[in-house]
Every structure is written in structure tokens, then in C-alpha cells.
Amino acid sequence: MTQPIRILLQTTIPTREDDWSIARFSLLQDYLASLKDETGNPLCEVIARDRQTDADGNDPVLSTLGNSDFDQLWLFALDVGDGLSEKDCAEITAFHQQGKGILTTRDHQDMGVCMCGLGTLGTFHFFQSKQQELDESRRCIDDIYTKTISWPNYHSGRNGDYQRITPIEPIHELLKNPNSPSGRIEFFPAHPHEGAVGVPADANNAQVIAMGKSLVSGRPFNLAVAVERTKDEQGNLLGRMVAQSTFHHFVDYNWDIEKGCPSFVSEPPGEGMKENPQALEDIKTYVRNVVLWLRGFSIE
């Protein structure tokens, strides 16, 4: 590979010190920057930023994304409805229509609901106020401990702990890990109230690849959806996509609890990630796999 993969890590909230701003994804940024290709050159070039708005309410980067030279967008949708303008959504769609790869993630309840403006791209996430889970029996509180957060809010464990994932057979290449005893990724970071992802009935090019299990209800829930390239109605070959149930799989606090969190986080933390080094290596391997898979490369 001669040119590094250009990745935009983008939140949908403005920069605020006491929030989940992009600065709290520093370990992800550093890891991506450390990756090398087969010749020893940097695999990735990373730009990480929070949302900004111009006089018309558009983000200057997202609203021109279709004309950019980025190869991938990793969108951390952390708002509750105002994180993307119509022009932002149109340009993200244009980016996707060029065959570029996209990862989308959010969290509980209506966090990231702005993605409902992304058309097909947003249909793999389910919220409370709109685009709810297809199974009506799931439209209820799972995490019963944090009273200020409502459904969907699947409790996979404490921040700082890990969860054992259940891969869907046949195991998707995104879950390969040759350095694991099982040959696959076994752990993701845990979180007390993950959001909901899934496959709409008409999405024949998508599949759930991994599931978690609630420590409160015992109920299984989807952790990640992989979406293969397909042509849209206009004949555009859309890029690959990954929809992830929570941004906490990627944020500093859930990789290293000592990195700290915003003051509004009230749940007691765990230390599982610190105690089990394989858990951190698994999520890092998954990140590398996502980079390669979104770009269309095979995963060794």
C-alpha cells in the first residue's frame, strides 16, 4: 500500500471538557496512528474532531465530505437530535455512494438519533422516540440501576470491565484474531447501558456478527452489524459499513478506567480490562480489522 488510509474520527457534539468529546478517544487515535502496513509504513492517517457549525448550522468538514479525500468516516453520534444538519447528512450519503467505508456508533435511548436523517445508513440503529426495535417486547428498560437513562439500555457490565461476546456463525472476518487462543475476538469492553443495533427486514446485504448478554435480564442483544457493499437505486456501489451498539467500545474510559470520565457518569467502575490484557488486545484487533475491512482489504 502506497498511501495511508485517511480516517475521519468525528463526534456530533461540540468540544466540551466535561463531555465525551473527541479528546476522550485519544487511545483509539494513538492506536490507529501506530498501525503499520506490510512494508512498515503508516497504515492510517487520522483526523479527529468534534462538531463545529458555520452560520448556516453546518459542520464545515461533514458538509463537504463528498468532495474530501477521506477513505473512512467513524461517526460517534453523541447528540440527542441536533448533531447533523441536512447538508451534513447529504454529504455523508454522497461519501457513502462513492464506495467509502463508514462506522457508526452511539449509545442508549435517543443518543445519536440524528442518524435517522442518514437514510439507509441510519436504519441499523434503533432508538426510543423513533425507529424503534422491531421486537416490541424489547421496548423496555434493561439497565434498572441508572434511573436517568431509559431504553434501549442493555447492561453488559461496568465501565472498565469487559464482556464475553457471542459470535454469529459462520464467524465474520471482522472477528478474527490469530493471537487469541480461539483464533477469534472473544471480548469487547462492557458498558451499563448500550444502545440497540440490528438488521432491517429489507437489508439483504447486512448481518449481525456479534451478540452480548445483559447482566441484568440475561437477555441477548446485538453488538455489531456488518454491511457489505451493494448498489443503491441510482446504481452507486455503496461502501461497507459497521454499526456498533455503543461508542463505549472505543472510548478511553472503557479501555483504561484511569483515563477518567465526565462528571455526570455516576456508575461505579470496574477493573476487568486492566486485569485481563487479552480484552484490550481483542478490541484493538477489532479496530484494526474494521479499518482493513471498510477499505476492502482481506483480514489475515
Within-domain flag for 103:
yes
Q: What percent of the chain has pLDDT over 90?
A: 94
Amino acid 1: pLDDT: 58
Considering only residues 201 and 276, tell me which one the structure prediction assigns the higher pLDDT. Answer: 276
Q: Tell me: the pLDDT tens digits for 24-50?
A: 999 999 999 999 998 999 999 999 999
The predicted model gives 185-214 an average pLDDT of 96
Within-domain flag for 183:
yes
Within-domain flag for 300:
no
Q: Tell me: the pLDDT tens digits for 212-266?
A: 999 999 999 999 999 999 998 899 999 999 999 999 999 999 999 999 999 999 9
Amino acid 233: pLDDT: 86
Chain centroid offset of residue 32 CA: 15
Q: Tell me: the pLDDT tens digits for 154-164?
A: 999 999 999 99
Query: Domain containing 17: what range?
Result: 5-295
Nearest to 172 by CA among 196, 208, 200, 201: 208
Q: DSSP assignment of 183-202, as one string?
A: SB--EEE--SSB-EE---TT
Within-domain flag for 276:
yes
Measured distance CA(202)–CA(200) in Å, rounded: 6
Q: Tell me: the pLDDT tens digits for 68-112?
A: 999 999 999 999 999 999 999 999 999 999 999 999 999 999 999
pTM of the model: 0.97
Within-domain flag for 70:
yes
Q: Is the peptide bond before 14 cis (omega within 30 degrees of 0)?
A: no
Within-domain flag for 172:
yes
Mean pLDDT of the chain: 96
Burial pattern 186-198, b for ≥16 Cβ within 10 A else e, equals bbbbbbbbbbbbb
Q: Tell me: the pLDDT tens digits for 166-181?
A: 999 999 999 999 999 9
Q: Return the DSSP state at 233.
A: T
Domain CATH number, residue 90: 3.40.50.880
Amino acid 14: pLDDT: 98
Structurally, the chain folds into a number of domains equal to: 1
Q: For residue 202, what pLDDT band results from cuts at 50, 70 and 90? A: confident
Nearest to 23 by CA among 1, 43, 50, 44: 50
